[in-house]
């Protein structure tokens, strides 16, 4: 900027407006080791027991993973492995369900 000594004005600094931070819901990663499985879906009360959109990603070592954003609370879930319903073998927290089997239970705080 060029200006005469008496007429020189420095442009006012713009102050950043602080944006309100929206609390983010952390992701919870569900993991199942099932090397012989072709496809695995995560189902639970958080998705009305519907696996659509909840197919788990298969890794080369036979591990399936799916991250889901869940708010604080307690959730019941199972895995559908090639059409068969499994409880989570890595989660000892379980509760009987109306079908004579058990659901895995996870608590998010």
How distant is the alpha carbon of residue 88 from its chain centre? Answer: 16
In-domain check, residue 52: yes
59-87: pLDDT as tens digits: 999 999 999 999 999 999 999 999 999 99
Residues of the domain holding 77: 27-108
Q: What is the CATH number of the domain that holds 79?
A: 2.60.40.10
Backbone angles phi and psi of 29, in degrees to 5: -100, 125
Contacting residues for 26 by C-beta, under 8 A, at least 6 apart: 69
56 strand-pairing partners = none
Residue with tokens 């959730």: 75
Please tell me the predicted confidence (pLDDT) of residue 10. 47
Question: Exposed (0-12), middle (13-18) or buried (19+): which is 58, by Cβ within 10 Å?
Answer: middle
Residue 15 lies in a domain: no
In a domain, 5, yes or no: no
pLDDT for the residue 22: 63
- Given a cut of 50, the residues of the chain with pLDDT beneath it are 1-8, 10
**Residue 14 is assigned to a structural domain of this protein:** no
How many domains, the chain? Answer: 1
């Amino acid at each position: 900027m060029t200006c005469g000594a008496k007429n020189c004005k420095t442009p006012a600094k713009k102050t950043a407006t602080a944006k309100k931070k929206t609390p983010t819901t952390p992701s919870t990663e569900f993991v199942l080791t099932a090397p012989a499985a072709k496809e695995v879906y995560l189902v639970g009360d958080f998705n009305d027991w519907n696996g659509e959109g909840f197919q788990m990603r298969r890794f080369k070592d036979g591990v399936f993973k799916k991250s889901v954003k869940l708010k604080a609370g307690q959730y019941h879930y199972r895995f559908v492995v090639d059409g068969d319903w499994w409880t989570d073998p890595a989660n000892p927290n379980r509760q009987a369900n109306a079908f004579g089997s058990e659901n895995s239970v996870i608590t998010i705080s």
